[in-house]
């Protein structure tokens, strides 16, 4: 048996827009994801999060399921426009909802981790220009302040942002997520406001929850060169700069990576260089964190220079490897390498795996059981990577599988199922999958069967 450290937090993660539904209930205002998903052509089959898993109304049942699985921790996000419908005015009903959810979790001894921003901006703030407008950082601090004042006595673990790369570049440069813009300058300006807002909010979190632990959850997709040509090495380096270093370097006090600043400037992506950086910004961004969250699903393989404007074609396929239904290569050593990197190179004081998981559409057989063997294998291999990294000395304190429930996968609608619990969207019936039962056993023995 491969044992994990005592008190290792085995968890699962979700986000508000992907599960809550109740998009216009009890005073919630519209977010830019409501606008985006309700605009034809942006999501698969025009699907929206209007109902999703109806978790807003069924949270008690879902907490009971978490308890049955034995989760030690649950990571969820708040919907900004439920708490501050127009970005400015507090909606007490929204805060009350999260307070009830937190109480249910604590009753079952499940440690809550709250993510403040998992991609839903109040539409009023989007109308001001959204994340590319640095004023949005101040509104984000308000969200952090209001939410921690209401819940900080009960919730001690706070995450400012989920996956800044997605908020910034996937949403403003690639245009696949709300608000669907395709502009490098907007994307990199958005990245800057997000990082700034993180640093500013860290101060608020420390003041309002001084006995808590606070961090951020960037997304990580490591790139591996497949040969020693200049093109492949550059391809992997540029990918790494675009996706990992652009965010983690300033967070670690290293400012934006010089090779990438040059690359963006020379290629016209930042025609005036870093004109959005003001005096003092880097110090704010590098506010010390208590932990770094790693969100990781797959890796990139580079056999030549990549085209960042068409990055979907960048990765070289790996024939013979296992792929999930997102067409993501299963590569547990990628997670192992990332943990080592965050531990040894970036000196992360503490690490949580804030997301790891896979999409497979396995549903109930005739007997009602969901035999999702491939997900169990994925979980086991990735938990094993975490175990190996812990043996190297990395302080990994917990792991959150993405996701508790099948849910709304953003522009892909309901076509991808990431849950350890199956959701029948017609009836809202939940069924714990075989992977969920594997997880139950793993948690109970705090270890992996050899
Ligand atoms: C993420 C996302 C999730 C996605 C998951 C699968 O943080 O990337 O938090 O919202 O559903 O990653 O794509």
**Tens-digit pLDDT profile for residues 186-216:** 999 999 999 999 999 999 999 999 999 999 9
**Cβ pair 414, 47 in contact under 8 A:** yes
Domain for residue 314, yes or no? yes
Across residues 85-107, what is the average pLDDT? 98
Q: Which atom of ligand 1 is nearest to the CA of 418?
A: 6
pTM: 0.98
Domain for residue 90, yes or no? yes
Is pLDDT of 78 > 90? yes
Domain for residue 292, yes or no? yes
Residue 312's pLDDT is 61
pLDDT band for position 311 (cuts 50, 70, 90): low
Beta pairing partners, 11: 73, 400
Count Cβ atoms within 10 A of the Cβ of residue 94 and give its class: 0-12 exposed, 13-18 middle, 19 or more buried.
buried
d(CA 48, CA 39): 9
d(CA 402, CA 118): 13
Which residue range forms the structural domain that includes residue 250?
9-321+337-354+392-400
What residues line ligand 1, using a CB cutoff of 6 Å?
Answer: 15, 18, 162-163, 219, 295, 355, 402, 409, 418
Domain for residue 21, yes or no? yes
| Ligand 1 mean position, distance from CA 192 (Å) | 21
Domain for residue 431, yes or no? no
**Cβ pair 401, 357 in contact under 8 A:** yes
* pLDDT per position as a tens digit, 125-175: 999 999 999 999 999 999 999 999 999 999 999 999 999 999 999 999 999
* pLDDT per position as a tens digit, 43-70: 999 999 999 999 999 999 999 999 999 9
Query: Which residue among the candidates 20, 163, 329, 409 is catalytic per the annotation?
Result: 163
Average per-residue pLDDT for the chain: 97
- C-beta atoms surrounding 317 within 10 Å: 10
Residue 250's pLDDT is 98
The domain total for the chain is 1
Q: Tell me the percentage of the chain whose pLDDT exceeds 70.
A: 99
Tell me if residue 235 falls in helix, strand or coil: helix
- What DSSP string runs through 324-350? -TT--B--HHHHHHHHHIIIIIS--SS
d(CA 274, CA 268): 12
| Ligand 1 mean position, distance from CA 203 (Å) | 27
| Angle (deg, nearest 10), helices 258-266 and 230-240 | 100
**Cβ pair 411, 177 in contact under 8 A:** yes
Domain for residue 309, yes or no? yes
Domain for residue 256, yes or no? yes
Beta pairing partners, 217: 162
Ligand 1 pocket: which of 20, 116, 163, 358 to mutate (most atoms <8 Å of CB)? Answer: 163
**Cβ pair 276, 134 in contact under 8 A:** yes
Across residues 259-281, what is the average pLDDT? 97
Kind plus residue range of the DSSP H or E element containing 188: helix 184-208
In the annotation, is 355 catalytic?
yes
- Nearest alpha carbon, ligand 1 atom 6: 409
| Ligand 1 mean position, distance from CA 356 (Å) | 9
Across residues 171-183, what is the average pLDDT? 97
Domain for residue 407, yes or no? no
pLDDT band for position 313 (cuts 50, 70, 90): low
d(CA 192, CA 274): 10
Distance of CA 317 to the CA centre of its chain: 25
pLDDT band for position 314 (cuts 50, 70, 90): low
Residue 307's pLDDT is 87
d(CA 352, CA 350): 7
Q: Which atom of ligand 1 is nearest to the CA of 18?
A: 10
Question: Any idea what the CATH number is for the domain that residue 243 is in?
Answer: 3.20.20.80
């Amino acid at each position: 048996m491969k044992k994990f450290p005592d008190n290792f937090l085995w968890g699962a993660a979700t986000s508000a827009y992907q599960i809550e539904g109740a998009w216009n209930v009890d005073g919630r205002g519209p977010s830019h994801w409501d606008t985006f998903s309700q605009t034809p052509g942006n999501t698969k089959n025009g699907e929206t999060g209007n109902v999703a898993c109806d978790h807003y109304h069924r949270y008690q049942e879902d907490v009971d399921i978490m308890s049955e699985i034995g989760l030690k921790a649950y990571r969820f996000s708040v919907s900004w426009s439920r708490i501050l419908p127009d970005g400015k005015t507090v909606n007490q009903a929204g805060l009350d909802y999260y307070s009830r959810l937190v109480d249910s979790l604590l009753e079952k001894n499940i440690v809550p981790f709250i993510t403040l921003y998992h991609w839903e901006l109040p539409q009023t703030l989007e109308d001001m220009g959204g994340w590319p407008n640095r004023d949005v950082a101040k509104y984000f601090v308000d969200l952090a302040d209001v939410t921690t004042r209401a819940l900080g006595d009960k919730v001690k673990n706070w995450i400012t942002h989920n996956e800044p790369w997605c908020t910034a570049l996937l949403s403003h440069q690639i245009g696949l997520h709300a608000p669907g813009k395709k502009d490098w300058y907007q994307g990199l300006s958005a990245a800057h406001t997000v990082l700034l807002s993180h640093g500013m909010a860290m101060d608020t979190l420390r003041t309002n929850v001084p006995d808590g632990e606070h961090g951020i959850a960037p997304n990580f997709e490591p790139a591996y060169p497949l040969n020693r040509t200049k093109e492949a090495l550059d391809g992997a380096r540029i990918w790494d700069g675009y996706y990992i270093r652009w965010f983690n370097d300033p967070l670690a006090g290293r400012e934006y990576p010089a090779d990438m600043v040059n690359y963006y400037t020379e290629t016209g992506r930042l025609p005036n260089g870093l004109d959005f950086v003001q005096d003092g910004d880097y110090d704010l961004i590098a506010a010390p964190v208590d932990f770094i969250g790693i969100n990781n699903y797959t890796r990139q393989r580079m056999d030549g220079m990549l085209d960042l404007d068409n990055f979907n074609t960048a990765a070289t396929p790996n024939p013979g490897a296992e792929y999930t239904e997102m067409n993501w290569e299963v590569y547990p050593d990628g997670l192992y390498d990332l943990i080592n990197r965050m531990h040894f190179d970036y000196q992360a004081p503490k690490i949580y795996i804030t997301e790891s998981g896979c999409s497979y559409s396995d549903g109930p057989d005739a007997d009602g059981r969901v035999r999702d063997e491939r997900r169990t294998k994925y979980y086991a291999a990735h938990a094993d990577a975490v175990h190996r990294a812990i043996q190297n000395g990395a302080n990994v304190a917990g792991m959150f599988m993405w996701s508790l429930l099948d849910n709304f996968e953003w522009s892909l609608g309901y076509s991808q199922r990431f849950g350890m619990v199956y959701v029948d969207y017609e009836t809202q019936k939940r069924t714990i999958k075989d992977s969920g039962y594997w997880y139950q056993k793993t948690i109970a023995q705090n270890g992996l069967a050899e």
